[in-house]
Amino acid sequence: MARKSSSDSGGLIFKTGLFALLAAIAFWIFNQFGSKEPAAGAPDTGLPGTTVAIPKPEPTVPDAILPVSAANTVVRHTYFTISYSEDHEQAEWVAYELTRERLDKNWVERAASFRPDPEVRTESATPRDYTGSGYDRGHLCPAADMAFDTLAMSESFFMSNMSPQLKAFNGGVWRELEEGTRDWARRFKRLYVVTGPVLSRAGLGQIGFSKVTVPAAFYKVLYAPDQHRAIAFVIPNAGSEQPLMDYAGTIDQVETLTGIDFFPGILKGPDEELEGALDKNAWPVNSARYERRLQEWNKRR
C-alpha cells in the first residue's frame, strides 16, 4: 500500500481541527440560547433540558374491602384490585370503590385498548383469545366506572379485567346493572363493589389458545358503607327480559355459590348479620331503563 504524503496528513489534521472547532461553537450557542426548560408537562430534575418518567400512583383500593383470594394471585392496579385465576384465565373477583365525586367528573375518552396485563406473573389472556369466539370481551370493572381518569380508563382495558360475555347479556341486563350501580353510588355517595364470574360451577366451555373459561353466570356484590346497606346479584350469562331485581339476593347467597368471603375486613362481628339481610326497597331502580332494555338493548343481538 502506498504511504500517505505529509500533505495528506496535514489536510486530515486541519479537517479534524475544524470539525472540533465547529462542534465547540455549536455547543456554546446551544448553552447560551437553547431551551433549558423541561418538556411541557414533564417534571423538572434541576438539570437543564432533562426530564424523568412520571411514577405510577400508588394503588388506592382499601385493603379492608378485598375478599379472600382463592387463586392467591392478587394484582393491584391504581383504582381496582383483582384476584387472577390462572386456571380460568380471568379474574375470580375485581374490587374497587365507586364514588359520586369520581362519577361527577368530566369523563375521559374511552381507551378501547385491549391488551394483556403485564402485572399478571403467569400471563393473562390476550385479545386474540376472544377473536371469532362469539363472545364479548366483557369488562368486570366497567370502563365507565373508571372514566374519571386517563390512567384508570387505560388500566380497565387489561385483559385480566375481561371475561367472556354473550352480547345479549353484556349489552342488556348486565349493562342495566352497571348503570344502576352508578346511580346508587351517586345516591349513597360511595359504594364498595366486588364483581366477577361464577367459576365454582360448570361453565359454557372454553375459548382461545389460552383456554379462557366461559362463565355460566356473573355476580356483583355492593356495600354502601355510609348507610350500612348491602345487596348482591347473580345473573346468568344470557339475554334476559326479567326485571333486574329478580336477580337480587344476599351476600350470604353469593358466598355460598362462589365460595368467596366478601368484605371480611368490614362485615364482621355484629355487622356480619348484614350479609344475610336484603331490603330491595333501599336500592331503587330506574323503571325507564328496564323498558329501554326490553325495547332497544335486547334487540341488538
Can you give the CATH number for the domain in which 141 is found?
3.40.570.10
Question: Per the domain annotation, does 5 fall within a domain?
Answer: no
Same-domain status, 28 and 102: no
> Is pTM beyond 0.85 here?
no
What pLDDT was estimated at residue 78? 96
Same-domain status, 41 and 113: no
What pLDDT was estimated at residue 91? 97
> What span, in angstroms and rounded, lies between the C-alpha atoms of 96 and 110?
19
> What span, in angstroms and rounded, lies between the C-alpha atoms of 143 and 152?
8
Same-domain status, 69 and 193: yes
What is the full per-residue pLDDT of the chain (301 aa) written as tens digits? 443 444 444 454 444 455 555 555 544 433 333 333 333 333 333 334 444 455 778 888 989 999 987 777 899 999 999 999 999 999 999 999 999 999 999 999 987 799 999 999 999 999 999 999 999 999 999 999 999 999 999 999 999 999 999 999 999 999 999 999 999 999 999 999 999 999 999 999 999 999 999 999 999 999 999 999 999 999 999 999 999 999 999 999 999 999 999 999 999 899 999 999 999 999 999 999 999 999 999 987 6
> What span, in angstroms and rounded, lies between the C-alpha atoms of 299 and 10?
86
What pLDDT was estimated at residue 161? 97
What pLDDT was estimated at residue 22? 55
Same-domain status, 35 and 132: no
Same-domain status, 87 and 49: no
- Residues of the domain holding 37: 11-55
The CB-side HSE value for 193 (13 A sphere, CA atoms) comes to: 26
Query: All 3 cell numbers of residue 36?
Result: 433549558
Quote the number of domains for the chain.
2
Same-domain status, 49 and 191: no
Question: Per the domain annotation, does 1 fall within a domain?
Answer: no
What pLDDT was estimated at residue 17? 52
Same-domain status, 36 and 179: no
Question: Per the domain annotation, does 281 fall within a domain?
Answer: yes
Same-domain status, 71 and 180: yes
Question: Per the domain annotation, does 217 fall within a domain?
Answer: yes
| Burial bucket for residue 102 (CB in 10 Å: 0-12, 13-18, 19+) | middle
Question: Per the domain annotation, does 224 fall within a domain?
Answer: yes
Same-domain status, 156 and 39: no
Question: Per the domain annotation, does 3 fall within a domain?
Answer: no
What pLDDT was estimated at residue 20? 52
Same-domain status, 279 and 144: yes
Question: Per the domain annotation, does 286 fall within a domain?
Answer: yes
Same-domain status, 280 and 244: yes
Tell me which amino acid residue 157 is. Answer: F
Question: Per the domain annotation, does 24 fall within a domain?
Answer: yes
What pLDDT was estimated at residue 38? 32
Active-site amino acid positions: 139
Same-domain status, 24 and 150: no
Q: What letter would DSSP give residue 132? A: T
